[in-house]
Amino acid sequence: MQPPKGKHVFGTVKVGEKGQIVIPRDARRIFNIKPGDTLLVLGDEAQGIAIVKDEILKDFLNRMLSMPDTGSDEQEG
C-alpha cells in the first residue's frame, strides 16, 4: 500500500548515546537537507516531534510580518 502523494514513511532510526539520530538519506534528498543546515525541532506532547528546516520558519515569519495591519486588534475607545 502506497502512502498518499507527498506523504512519506522513511523507516525507523535509533537514538544514539548522545541523543542523536541519523536522518535517512531519502528524507535528506527530498527535503534538501545538507550538512551544516539548521533544523528546528518542534514538539507536541500529544502528537509527537516534527523537524523542519529553519528556512521554513523564517519564510513564515517574513510573510506574517509583511501582512498589512488590519487594525482588528485595537479596541475602540
Whether the predicted pLDDT of 75 surpasses 70: no
Q: Average pLDDT over the chain, rounded to whole?
A: 87
- The pLDDT of residue 43 is 94
C-alpha distance across the termini of the chain, in Å: 60
Enter the C-alpha cell of residue 15: 537514538
Q: Where are the alpha helices (DSSP H) in the chain?
A: 25-30, 54-65
In percent, how much of the chain has pLDDT > 90? 53
Tell me how far apart the alpha carbons of residues 33 and 29 are, in angstroms, rounded to a whole number: 7
Residue type, 40: L
pTM of the model: 0.68
